[in-house]
Amino acid sequence: MLARIAFIGFGVVGQGLAEILLEQKEDLKKNYGFEYSVVAISDKMKGAVYDEKGLDLQQLLNVVKTTGKIEDYPEGITGWDSLKTITESNANLIIEVSWTDINTGEPALSHVKAAIGCHKHVVMTNKGPIALAARELMSMAKTNGIEIRFEGTVLSGTPALNLGVNNLANSKITKIAGIVNGTTNYILTEMEKGLSYEDALKQAQELGYAEADPTADVEGYDALGKIVILTNVVMDGTITKDQVPCEGITKITAQDIEAARSEGKRWKLIAGAELKEDGSVEAYVRPEKIPLDHPLAAVSGPINALTYTTKYLGDVTIVGPGAGREATGYALLTDILDIHRKISR
């Protein structure tokens, strides 16, 4: 396969992937027979450039770092918006890395549908479209004979989704429970060290772990999107986020932290999903007191983790980064190679 790649969005994650693609170019060709050419980049803020013969990715990264404007790249067609880039460029693989809107999924949802509609493969780390419409998108992709992948929507590059979907596929998963939001885990870890909620939040904001408006993290909405994805993609569920009870960490006090400690436990914001006897799956997001000898209890700071409870293996837990430029870029690379392997058969 010669992948002709279009980046839709070119922020931290997109640039992270671009750097990995450049660094591994020779290895990817040698080890997997995977060759690529980046033909288009379209970013709402930074502008767009398209060249059907391929762009010089290193030069593009330099231009973006120097002037911040993609259109300062010296060649190619400029000015194409995201939908035009998706539908009219000669790209056959769309990297959807625009911004996340967990409520509408837009504009990413429209990007993905447009790509599927014109028979182009899609990889993304944006959980908006997948939390809202995973099964619809997978079904559309199947109908149109193309592949979509989204490993990075949960635990970024940590292969947590792949573990459930592939490696544990026949283990009979009955429950998923995890720490899927690094911001709240960092805050809880700092509160254990003695900080108040307010001070821990402020520290998380200063370190860039929390946004100026921390609502999506601390109220559990980010975790909610991720458990909906896990439920529908790994456990074959059909839930929407409105059906999931969601409680964040804003009510946890220093007294609660101390009370848990005296029980030999530790507060964690847990996103979970459980298979019921009738075959349905119930999901939730809530703070739970985890015994110190459970693998999730030892997961501190911005690190994430997910435990699959299975019939044949008991509990299997994976622990790794939940965010970050390189980790999320790596998620996209694994998705790209997975598609490459699939369609090269």
Helix (H, G, I), strand (E, B) or coil at 274: strand
Stretch that binds its own copies, among 39-47, 201-209, 215-223, 307-315 (CB under 8 A): 307-315
The verdict on 177 binding its own copies (CB under 8 A) reads no
The least distance separating its own copies from the CB of residue 73, rounded to whole angstroms, comes to: 26
* Closest CB to its own copies among residues 24, 250: 24
Options 226, 276, 289, 311, the catalytic residue: 226
Q: Which is nearer to its own copies, 102 or 290 (CB)?
A: 290
- Could you say which of 154, 318, 323, 339 contacts its own copies (CB under 8 A)? 318
Q: How far is residue 20's CA from residue 333's CA, in Å, rounded to a whole number? A: 8
Q: Is 294 exposed, middle or buried (0-12, 13-18, 19+ CB in 10 A)?
A: middle
CB atoms within 10 A of CB 342: 12
Q: Say whether 226 is catalytic.
A: yes
Does position 125 interact with its own copies (CB under 8 A)? The reply is no
| Shortest Å distance, C-beta 297 to its own copies | 6
Out of 25, 84, 286, 294, which residue is the one contacting its own copies (CB under 8 A)? 294
Which SS3 state, helix, strand or coil, does residue 292 take?
Answer: coil
Among 159, 182, 248, 287, binds its own copies (CB under 8 A): 159
CA distances from 128 to 197, 221, 241 (A): 28, 11, 11
Q: Determine the Cα–Cα distance for residues 325 and 65; give it in Å rounded to an integer.
A: 15
Binding of its own copies at residue 168 (CB under 8 A)? yes
Q: Contact between 322 and its own copies (CB under 8 A)?
A: no
| Shortest distance, position 178 Cβ to its own copies, whole Å | 12
Task: Please select the residue that binds its own copies; options are 27, 35, 88, 136, rule is CB under 8 A.
Answer: 27
Does residue 333 interact with its own copies by CB under 8 A? Answer: yes
**306: buried, middle or exposed (CB in 10 Å: 19+, 13-18, 0-12)?**
buried
95 contributes a contact to its own copies by CB under 8 A? no
CA distance 329 to 334: 9
How far apart are the C-alpha atoms of 77 and 130, rounded to whole Å? Answer: 31
- Other Cβ atoms less than 10 A from the Cβ of 196: the count is 12
Residues 6-25 that bind its own copies (CB under 8 A): 20, 24
User: How far, in Å, CA of 71 to CA of 63, rounded?
Assistant: 9
Positions in the binding site for its own copies (CB under 8 A):
20, 24, 27-28, 31, 157-159, 162-163, 167-171, 292-295, 297-300, 305, 311-321, 326-327, 329-330, 333-334, 337, 345
Q: Return the active site residues.
A: 226
